[in-house]
Amino acid sequence: MYAPLIEEVYIRYGSGMGNLNVWGLSRYDSNFVIEEFKTQYGVSHPCAGSEGNAGEAIDVLIDGQIYYGTPTYLVICPDYKMHFDICFPPEMECIDSYIQFCNMGLIADFSAEVNQVCQGSYIQFNNESYGNITNWDWQFEGGVPPTSNEMNPLIFYPEPGLWDVTLTVSNTLFTDTTIETDFVEIYANPVVTLQPIDTVCEYDPPFRLIGGYPLGGSYSGNGVQHGVFDPQAAGVGEHIITYTFEDENGCTGTDEQILTVDVCAGINKLKISYADVYPNPSKGELFIRTKDTDCIIVQIIDLVGSVIISKTFYQSVWDYVSIDLSRLPSGFYMVIVNDGSTIYTTKISLLKE
């Protein structure tokens, strides 16, 4: 059959669907297609084929017209009426002008905006059917709702799996059905767990959260930054800590635990009277005044839980010690002062000029 535009005809109308036939003919075609059509549909008129004079050209008898081999298209309607035109050069507009006179059947077809999603997602289906349709009957395996009579339904898929979709279109004269097997693929959401988190005190130092599985997820919640929980930033009370994991399909799962920050009042009074850290904010140097003791360890920790500075000071009578912060970037840091029996923590702000 004649090659130019035939694929476009197939895409727009199909061939033999709804008993509509669109043929592209050239002077070098044989009578095979016409003879096959006669055998299938039991008709000879208007398709009376005979070998022509120009090679193996097809002579098609249409009300006395003879096809002389010029490239053209034939449109055969469901009632076997034929529309014939030279259509040279061949254009879709020429074919359209004849197809509109056919008493067309229906062609059921549909598409989806996406057909691979995570469980618990919606899929928008779009009717792509051809013909004068008055009824749409959708069936969605695994979908909610499982059926619909809307033209373009929105369907929810709660469970993972491969699911079929069926569309039947109809009017008072025709009906057509298309079934797409395993058209929808629903990915399972990952199973995510978060282990319980122990109660902490208000003035405990920040610490990195752990216990989420599968590994590689992220933590969120009040007082959480970059996976590190800061009790002072969160404040006293119960806080919801959420662990979220995303798999290779882009599907996510979450789990939550309650993290309690306690006042720990008896300890806090001792800590507050134990050391004095100043100035706060600091411009690059930090002073620490403590009670008399043989030794103290001072640590500077950033908000992701990394120890940036750790120094040990030995002295029997204490005034103050100084810590050089000039090489650190501006930001917030935790200061931990430990004399071996008591730990004092506080947050400072470094504002460099």
Query: pLDDT tens for residues 5-20?
Result: 444 444 444 444 455 6
Q: In whole numbers, what is the pLDDT of the chain averaged over residues?
A: 78
- Band of the pLDDT at 57, cuts 50, 70, 90? very low
- What span, in angstroms and rounded, lies between the C-alpha atoms of 156 and 191? 20
- Band of the pLDDT at 66, cuts 50, 70, 90? low
Q: Is the pLDDT of residue 342 over 90?
A: no
CB of 1 within 8 A of CB of 25? yes
pLDDT at 183: 98
Query: pLDDT tens for residues 168-216?
Result: 999 988 899 999 999 999 999 999 999 988 888 887 888 889 889 999 9
Q: Is the pLDDT of residue 26 over 70?
A: no
Q: Which residue has the higher pLDDT, 259 or 18?
A: 259
Q: What average pLDDT does range 242-262 have in this prediction? A: 95
Query: pLDDT tens for residues 276-296?
Result: 788 888 888 888 877 666 788
Q: Is the pLDDT of residue 120 over 50?
A: yes
Q: Is the pLDDT of residue 344 over 70?
A: yes
Cα-based angle 76, 80, 82 (whole degrees, multiple of 5)? 45
Q: What average pLDDT does range 324-335 have in this prediction? A: 87
- Domains in the chain, ordered, with CATH? 6-99 (no CATH), 110-187 (2.60.40.10), 193-262 (2.60.40.10), 274-350 (2.60.40.3080)
**What does the block give as tokens for 9?**
């005809």
Q: In DSSP terms, which residues pair with 25 in a beta bridge?
A: 72
CB of 116 within 8 A of CB of 183? no
Query: pLDDT tens for residues 131-170?
Result: 789 999 999 999 999 999 999 999 999 999 999 999 999 9
CB of 1 within 8 A of CB of 29? yes
One-character DSSP codes across 256-282:
EEEEEEE--HHHHHHHHTTEEEE-SSB
CB of 35 within 8 A of CB of 28? no
